[in-house]
Amino acid sequence: MEDVLDRANMMEAVRRVERNRGCPGVDGMTWRQLRPYMEAHLDEIAEQLRNRAYRPSRVRRVMIDKYDGGKRPLGMPTVVDRTIQQALCQVLQPLFEPDFSGSSYGYRPHRSAHDALREAQRLVRARRLWVVDVDLERFFDTVDHDVLMARVARRVGDGSVLKAVRSFLEAGVEGEGEWRERSDAGIPQGGPLSPLLANIMLDDLDRELERRGHAFCRYADDVVIFVGSERASERVLGSVSAFVERRLKLKVNARKSGVRRPWECVYLGYTWTPAPELALRMSDRSVERLREKLDALRTDATRRGSDRPIDEATREILDGWGAYYALDEDAPRVVDELALEYGAAPRRESRAGGARGTEEGDAPGDEMLRDGYLYLPETRDPEERTTHTADDGAPYEGDNHASDHHPPQPRRERAAR
């Protein structure tokens, strides 16, 4: 715990929460009020954490759009709780990160959604033309706390650290017609610890797939396995589903899971053209969602009135979308056609930087992926955003083609203090 409570570590956590901004939690404290509060109360908070007496506030729940048109709950901790989670993450991530699978891409330094897609493309072009799509039903809502904490404890021996992590898992929920004093299952989405805990939970699945010699890509809870024949694919789906439900106590959604051809599969918003080309392309549903977003932007701007020109907001959305779908050679044409149809500002008139998420070398478009789901960029001023990303300051650090399979590394014995 002393590593977590080190003043330099805590103030770095404050800086990252400030940089990410985001909106207040249930206590109404804004990110602008965070630094003076932490400077005045840091010793008190540290003592509570050492004594295992710190009690996080309830998280504020909001519902946000998923790329497939559904809704996804996002839980926003208070800015103080986000800071403590971030401080924990800065100490815990270096302990777990070196041993994560080379086939895991979500929410990891030097890795991106584009890396996952490039590796998927390599496997498809290696004639692995059957895709086992494993859908983990309501993963973030159903994680068993005991199962997860047992995996955290493999590397972390400090009881006060384990207590702090568990207290954030069990924090209550408030908002969207729901009020709970305590959560009995799940990983609250919206805090800095969520992505790391999700990867820790699913690392056993990665290792099992590697042990069996499967070629796969995992981005958060989005898992696809690439197989050479239909018969083998059916066997893989059955055995992997049994492992997930028996060992991890998670549920596989039988209706959404299945064996498909690449051109029948949607992965991270992309699909493939049929053989022999097997080229990555944006899915039809992704284009539909983009149109819905642009239509909603027009409607909202007309109804409420907006100080910001609608053509600039349209251009920002299109630039972010185009950056994410840059692996589709047809994306620039689609963006240009939609820009003309919806009257977007020319690129030279759009705000500098285009879509959010390029600070410190984020891979283009990765800011649109949160908790394994694709979101179109927000068009509000950052200080007025109604959602914030799942990571308060551990951005992807560039598109470095980290797509090769890496052999499992020896387990490390170092533990957090």
Report the pLDDT averaged over residues 379-406: 30
Mind giving me the DSSP string for 259-327? Answer: EE-GGG--BTTEEEPPTTT--EEE-HHHHHHHHHHHHHHHHHHHHH--SS-HHHHHHHHHHHHHHHGGG
Q: What is the pLDDT of residues 147-202, one digit of tens each?
A: 999 999 999 999 999 999 999 999 988 866 666 667 888 998 889 999 999 999 99
pLDDT at 67 over 80: no
pLDDT value at residue 63: 78
Global confidence as pTM: 0.80
**Sign of the torsion angle spanned by Cα atoms 268, 257, 109, 144:** positive
Which tens digits make up the pLDDT trace of 335-370? Answer: 999 999 999 888 754 343 333 333 333 444 444 444
CA quadruple 2, 3, 4, 6: dihedral sign: positive
Say what the pLDDT of residue 417 is: 54
DSSP run (H or E) holding 251: none
| Structure token digits, residue 257 | 């899971």
pLDDT value, residue 413: 39
In this predicted structure, the answer to whether residue 271 has a pLDDT above a threshold of 60 is yes
Q: Are 214 and 236 in contact (CB under 8 A)?
A: yes
Q: Which residue has the tokens 């990252």?
A: 16
Instruction: List the one residue out of 86, 96, 76 whose CA is nearest residue 10.
Output: 86
Q: What is the pLDDT of residue 359?
A: 37
170 close to 145: Cβ distance less than 8 angstroms: yes
Q: How much is the pLDDT for 301? A: 63
pLDDT at 89 over 80: yes
Cα dihedral 147, 240, 270, 312 in deg (nearest 10): -10
Q: Which of 77, 86, 74, 72 is nearest to 58 (CA)?
A: 77
- Give the list of residues 6+ apart from residue 386 with CB closer than 8 angstroms, or none: 23, 62, 378, 380
DSSP 108-139: -TT--HHHHHHHHHHHHHTT--EEEEEEBTTH
Residue 357 confidence (pLDDT): 36
Query: Dihedrals φ, ψ of 134, to 5°?
Result: -100, 110
Helix H or strand E encompassing 405: none
What residues form DSSP beta bridges with 65?
A: 71
Q: Is the pLDDT of residue 285 over 60?
A: yes
* Distance linking the first and last C-alpha atoms of the chain: 5
Residue with tokens 């400030």: 18
pLDDT at 399 over 80: no
Residue 400 confidence (pLDDT) above 80: no
Q: For residues 73 and 160, which has the higher predicted lDDT (pLDDT)?
A: 160
C-alpha Rg value of the chain to the nearest Å: 21
What tokens were used for 416? 């957090």
Rounded to the nearest integer, the mean pLDDT of the chain is 83
